[in-house]
Chains A and B, each alone.
Chain A
């Protein structure tokens, strides 16, 4: 039997949203609207149909809107790119939200632009870029009055270059469009860091975490970080000090990494929002690979398979726990 996919056109999206409110199927609708700075959109949190007027689905829909489900309770309509839908699966599995409370509208994603990366490839400062536009399979960057043609691999977020789920894993309807990965799923180039010695890795991450200012944007933007109270904020006893210094920064980031393993779907929001541009995804990707290789687990792709942290198997690779 062929699958019937409820499709909705871009014009129809607004009507669908309004209908969901009218029929009282949702209390909120999470989408995007045009941003106030270049190359950004901003989350649109609608509490009624009229709030949806500025709904916008184009490039620069970076945010993984499922982050707001930590805070917004009730029945929620939500726009989800392929990757974002995996966060929803994770959150359902973790018991944070109920599938029946969600109305998921999948949106096609041709890859999200990384303005910082594009600027670097165009040899200019991000502030000097006036426009980033798609032209066929390429991008045109206009900076300081000059145009430069760049390839997708030079412009898109790294996570989009290894996108394996361009189509949402779960949805209630899909926005019309092509659900294909932005580039051919070529074997992902392994992170150079993997081949380095432990001492080289230590030196690399010491340098990176040295810069961390402990703003917690990585944690707060992460849909998988849903603890009502984070251990770094506990002060009786104080497990981790708030001091933005090497040791405690290390503990914070590595602990967070361990804690979100199995729930993290590599949406890359932690790295995108980091004001110090720490390449946090190198850690998440290592964790993702380890989970796949050691536990045969991929986060957020099915609702059934048990989370690695929630299970125990006799044949688990290490014997420290036996």
Chain B
């Protein structure tokens, strides 16, 4: 189902929704794009993507899981409640929405995480089509359509004066069904509004099937991993800016008689990530770099039948030493 809305009405619609839900929209904060609480401002038209992926709004970098209290000989553990308050995020990009879907089986499978599941079910995902290829990105190579997506509740595509809307879920249908704001549109109109992506790669950088095969074949090739990881400085930028990385650490903060258990991000790039009492299986840098690439393109694929990379390009654009994942994938595909 397709609809359309003017820019002015979209703003009014979001203002109306803010009575029932928390609304997050792209905004610049300290010079960086991020998703902030909507204050009835104009929606940006030149938003490419946020520096920190919206994954952090679902799988938080710092999250209290439980608290405990011990008083008068009793001991009490209290789980932190799963989030429930309704929320709307507007302006999400197809890559990041795919990442949220990729993480679903991880967080709702064998070990269900009430926080991730709660955050997903309480949030209306409103996507926005890309018009420009982000620096370092390779989204189309990993199978993402920058101008179309089914990973949202509703997907918006900018047209002069407003937006066309592709309604995807029942929740999206109900909320965009208000005649006061939305008009009916058609598949024909939707398809004809598809535009060229500015700055896009002329030819695909690599073939994903070959990358997947290469990831398996290259795994034992130590020389390869040593060579490609030589300039890595073991920082956590690529993992902390990644929309699909999801490794975490647990940390207890204790005070006399009470305490809280927190979850925070952790990174496989850190030497201590796998350090155990007597042994560290990934002491060397090349083993850690191999782990990151293999997890995304080999192990995750084995476990969940999809690669855990959405090609957003954050790790490429922000690596301090320009260690370009695209180059490594290209070599793996050869």
Q: Which residues of A contact B (CB under 8 A)?
A: 35-38, 40-43, 45, 63, 67-68, 116, 120, 125-128, 211, 213-217, 219-221, 233, 241-245, 269, 272-273, 275-277
How far, in angstroms, from A125 to B199 measured CA to CA in the complex? 14
How far, in angstroms, from A127 to B47 measured CA to CA in the complex? 10
Is B62 in contact with chain A by the CB < 8 A criterion?
yes
Contact with A along B261-289 (1 / 0, CB 8 A): 01011110011100000000000000000
A241 touches B251 (CB 8 A): yes
A277 touches B31 (CB 8 A): yes
Contact with A along B315-334 (1 / 0, CB 8 A): 01110111110110000000
A244 touches B321 (CB 8 A): no
Q: A36-B316, A220-B320 are in contact. List 10 more A-B contacts (CB 8 A).
A: A37-B136, A37-B322, A125-B46, A217-B235, A220-B235, A241-B253, A242-B251, A272-B320, A273-B320, A276-B51
Is B132 in contact with chain A by the CB < 8 A criterion?
yes
B132 touches A127 (CB 8 A): yes
Is B240 in contact with chain A by the CB < 8 A criterion?
yes
B235 touches A276 (CB 8 A): no
Complex interface residues of chain B between 135 and 172 (CB less than 8 A to chain A): 135-136
Is B30 in contact with chain A by the CB < 8 A criterion?
yes
B32 touches A277 (CB 8 A): yes
B270 touches A245 (CB 8 A): no
Contacts of A126 in B (CB 8 A): 135
How far, in angstroms, from A221 to B323 measured CA to CA in the complex? 13
Contacts of A214 in B (CB 8 A): 236
Q: Which of B7-15, B87-95, B226-234, B299-307 contacts A (4 or more CB under 8 A)?
A: B226-234
A112 to chain B, nearest CB (A): 14
- Do A37 and B316 contact each other (CB < 8 Å), given the known contacts A43-B231, A215-B235? yes
B273 to chain A, nearest CB (A): 10
Closest 10 CB pairs of A and B: A215-B236, A273-B320, A217-B235, A42-B322, A36-B324, A220-B233, A220-B235, A35-B322, A43-B231, A215-B240
- Which residue on B lies nearest to A72, using beta carbons? B230
- Which residue on B lies nearest to A70, using beta carbons? B233
Is B208 in contact with chain A by the CB < 8 A criterion?
no
Contacts of B240 in A (CB 8 A): 213, 215, 275
Partner of B327 from the list A36, A221, A245 (CB cut-off 8 Å) is A36
A27 to chain B, nearest CB (A): 14
Contacts of B270 in A (CB 8 A): 216, 233
* 12 A-B contact pairs sorted by A residue (CB < 8 Å): A36-B316, A36-B326, A125-B48, A211-B30, A213-B236, A215-B235, A215-B237, A217-B237, A242-B266, A243-B262, A245-B62, A277-B31
Is B52 in contact with chain A by the CB < 8 A criterion?
yes
A141 to chain B, nearest CB (A): 16
A277 touches B253 (CB 8 A): no
How far, in angstroms, from A314 to B30 measured CA to CA in the complex? 45
A216 touches B236 (CB 8 A): yes
How far, in angstroms, from A145 to B128 measured CA to CA in the complex? 25
Number of interface residues of B (CB under 8 A): 44
How far, in angstroms, from A9 to B145 measured CA to CA in the complex? 48
B30 to chain A, nearest CB (A): 7
- Which residue on B lies nearest to A67, using beta carbons? B233
B176 to chain A, nearest CB (A): 29
B233 touches A37 (CB 8 A): no
Contacts of B249 in A (CB 8 A): 242
Contacts of A127 in B (CB 8 A): 48, 132, 134-135
- Which residue on B lies nearest to A234, using beta carbons? B272
Contacts of B259 in A (CB 8 A): none
Is B83 in contact with chain A by the CB < 8 A criterion?
no
- Do A37 and B237 contact each other (CB < 8 Å), given the known contacts A45-B231, A215-B267? no
B322 touches A216 (CB 8 A): no
Complex interface residues of chain B between 48 and 91 (CB less than 8 A to chain A): 48, 51-52, 61-62
How far, in angstroms, from A126 to B233 measured CA to CA in the complex? 24
How far, in angstroms, from A67 to B264 measured CA to CA in the complex? 28
A252 to chain B, nearest CB (A): 13
B196 to chain A, nearest CB (A): 15
Partner of B321 from the list A42, A120, A242, A243 (CB cut-off 8 Å) is A42
How far, in angstroms, from A41 to B323 measured CA to CA in the complex? 10
Contacts of A233 in B (CB 8 A): 270-272
How far, in angstroms, from A40 to B231 measured CA to CA in the complex? 14
Is B241 in contact with chain A by the CB < 8 A criterion?
yes
Partner of A220 from the list B134, B234, B239 (CB cut-off 8 Å) is B234
B195 to chain A, nearest CB (A): 16
Partner of A41 from the list B316, B322, B324 (CB cut-off 8 Å) is B322
Contacts of B51 in A (CB 8 A): 275-276
How far, in angstroms, from A243 to B267 measured CA to CA in the complex? 13
A70 to chain B, nearest CB (A): 9
How far, in angstroms, from A22 to B29 measured CA to CA in the complex? 53
- Which residue on B lies nearest to A36, using beta carbons? B324
